[in-house]
Chain A
């Protein structure tokens, strides 16, 4: 891949990226969240066309028009969300789309045999190929998907964070599968945040940062320190306001909290007038922590105390206790896109807008107007549908809901994801303002400079375990990345 660029609206997702992967090589692709890794791989897989740049596969120009083109050309993508049909058997999944058949009737014996061969090559000769994939644990499903790319004769296999949902033993088995692929001469692109994994199985690595390829190194010639500094490599801007504030009484306390899947262990104490940040990799359990606290996901064990209220509660009760959640998924969960700004804003506190279960349209409108001007939401008026606003303005409405409700604790999940710089600055201002007024903020973000700029303390989540919250002056991005990646 040479000089590949891609622009989405105002954001330059990829800026002249170079990537060169050889046969029989495990090439690691590193970068922080949002550095452009996924975009680059979507270009490679034919899911999106590049604006500029060219790709060459086996000496031939390679221009996939869609994912099927890419597959035929020999590019196999193994995503975290696997593309298997759970109701088909292992063998059928391996040969899906290239069935071994005569006159449309499947040759069952040959199908099983070919699937078994592919699996045997990967070191799984005993896997029952008649079993529906639905019955397999996630780690084995991944192997089935890799077996499919082997059966296809893929030249390039892309593994996108393959170990993020695996146990240690399963990850070790996966590494030996990757080793087989390398010996057989496949070119492997390996995306991972875990630096120790890269040291263990990678041959070379390329680091992406802010949509550019900043360096390519042989793994033996680099170390964790260099990898981290290549990934971070930027200065903290001056866009983060942080007034001097003193923490007040404790308002949220969790002890040994464990959810159904994640988090596995989390304790923290949040005080009024404080902003506490939670850093960590995607999938480490940060979002789940907020969801468990808010009652959206079940608590398996551990304690939650909000003010004087002890114990688990449903979201409706949490709102009454003065807790509000801003979802990371603004479009699907955070806002009702078809409803108006005023409706979205007042959804949690409709009972204040009228008597005996009625809602006064006048008061709703007035409230909408008030908050639209307070937060400078760019819109035609409070009756405009939220879906018609820009991402930044949508996010302001979502945040305004918490402020209008008058919550004491704001749980913010990626509050600035995918929004423009101007709106970001405003949201930082609102967070600071809320803390000054004695509210408490618990904020999850994948963007480290933002956490370092806004928070008073930062705790790091790693594989479901929440670390100790550290004062922001006593930590830095390298230390946080180390803790988040387990390096």
Chain B
């Protein structure tokens, strides 16, 4: 569109309609990409890959990254970043294990885990908004900090906790439970995703998150409370990471201070593949979830094909660069 042709004219009606639906096109593209990958592995591996049991497994495997990515989407849309995700997940598993071990009810342990995540997010947010230090540096620091706290709290070893219903949140469904289609943890994640997507699109807070990431200077001029928005975004990020930690604990039944190393990179990859820009302002919850699903499908398919880890790493890396390049190309076109 040149400066001369205003989009109020009739000719640009089509362009306009496409532009308006651009995010939908983006999602459709991602979905097609995922469907192609899924079909490829089903063809290679056979129906065992495309079957109900494996699809359930795929969703279960996506849940941890998916949950952490929900909050990370808010953070990245606001123009920030969180590198401490993996460490906070480890910290949360240790907190939950300690609380269960001490004989408290699973509900108390759950609340303690989520609160630990929220506190970690609060610390990130306070450091970023009060010290005026970049989010990258702050969370690079807290990446070490929370891993250290987790290791100390666990006395440098794994903490075994007695089995409770917490371990069934993400467990494989037994025959009698098939009517639920997916484990509770997966349903919960999907529900939370709907809620957060709605918050981002329809509430004042959500639009302020986009405004801050899109043009912080303009947002400040319009009276948007920048620091409060950022702080809240990191707390929300912390809560979803806390929930991811809960799922991690559920799968392992131990508090493990060494778990989830590098998870933050998967999370950032999922958000970026989902259409977010690391410079802020762009990104969607639905895209992020599709991005996370795409990543775990590739990983699971590659390992079921018997491909070694290093091949998976190469493929995953290539997908990240490719998807972002395609996205840049697409935005330049329009």
Contacts and interface: CB of A to CB of B under 8 A. Distances in A.
B215 A84 contact: yes
B43 to A, nearest CB: 39
B16 A128 contact: yes
Contacts of A128: 7-8, 16, 20
Interface in B182-235: 202-205, 207, 210-211, 213-215, 217-224
A94 to B, nearest CB: 10
A288 to B, nearest CB: 17
A69 B2 CA distance: 36
B203 A85 contact: no
A430 interface: no
A100 to B, nearest CB: 9
Interface string B1-23: 11111111000000010011000
A137 B222 contact: no
Nearest to A108: B202
A345 to B, nearest CB: 32
Contacts of B7: 127-128, 131, 135-137, 140
Nearest to B1: A137
Given A88-B211, A108-B202, A128-B16, A170 B4 contact: yes
A85 B3 contact: no
A84 B207 contact: no
A9 to B, nearest CB: 25
Given A71-B221, A96-B218, A127 B202 contact: no
Contact of B19 (A71, A101, A126, A135): A135
Chain B residues touching A, range: 20 to 34
Contact of A104 (B3, B203, B282): B203
A85 B204 contact: no
B218 A104 contact: no
Interface string A158-171: 00000001110110
Nearest to A68: B223
A101 B7 CA distance: 28
Contacts of A101: 203-204
Interface centre among B19, B202, B218 (most CB of A within 10 A): B218
A86 interface: yes
B325 interface: no
Contact of B218 (A83, A130, A139): A83
A88 B204 contact: no
A97 interface: yes
B281 interface: yes
Contacts, number: 107
Contacts of A83: 215, 217-218, 221-222
B222 A97 contact: yes
A138 interface: yes
Nearest to B222: A97
B285 to A, nearest CB: 15
Contacts of B155: none
B220 to A, nearest CB: 8
Given A84-B215, A85-B218, A87-B281, A124 B4 contact: no
B334 interface: yes
B178 to A, nearest CB: 38
A130 B214 contact: no
A74 B243 CA distance: 46
B211 A85 contact: yes
A10 interface: no
Nearest to B16: A128
Contacts of B218: 82-85, 96
A414 interface: no
Interface in A117-154: 124, 126-128, 130-132, 135-140, 148
Contacts of B215: 83-86
A104 B215 CA distance: 21
B236 to A, nearest CB: 14
B143 to A, nearest CB: 27
Contacts of B221: 67-68, 71, 83
B235 to A, nearest CB: 16
B20 A130 contact: yes
Contacts of B214: 85-88
B129 to A, nearest CB: 17
B1 A135 contact: yes
Nearest to A139: B3
A410 B19 CA distance: 46
Contacts of B202: 105-106, 108
A104 to B, nearest CB: 5
Contacts of B281: 85-87
Nearest to A47: B221
Contact of B222 (A96, A127, A135, A139): A96
Contacts of A139: 3, 6
A105 B214 CA distance: 20
Which of A82, A84, A88, A169 has the most chain B CB atoms inside 10 A of its CB?
A88
A96 B6 contact: no
B217 A127 contact: no
B204 A99 contact: yes
A148 B219 CA distance: 13
B207 A92 contact: yes
24 contacts: A68-B221, A71-B221, A83-B217, A83-B221, A85-B215, A85-B219, A87-B210, A92-B211, A96-B218, A97-B222, A97-B224, A98-B222, A104-B203, A105-B202, A106-B202, A126-B8, A128-B20, A137-B1, A138-B3, A140-B6, A140-B7, A165-B3, A169-B4, A170-B3
Interface of B: 1-8, 16, 19-20, 202-205, 207, 210-211, 213-215, 217-224, 281-282, 334
Interface of A: 67-68, 71-72, 82-88, 92, 96-99, 101, 104-106, 108, 124, 126-128, 130-132, 135-140, 148, 165-167, 169-170
Q: Which 9 A/B pairs are nearest by Cβ-Cβ distance? A: A97-B222, A83-B218, A87-B281, A85-B214, A97-B223, A87-B214, A96-B222, A137-B3, A126-B8
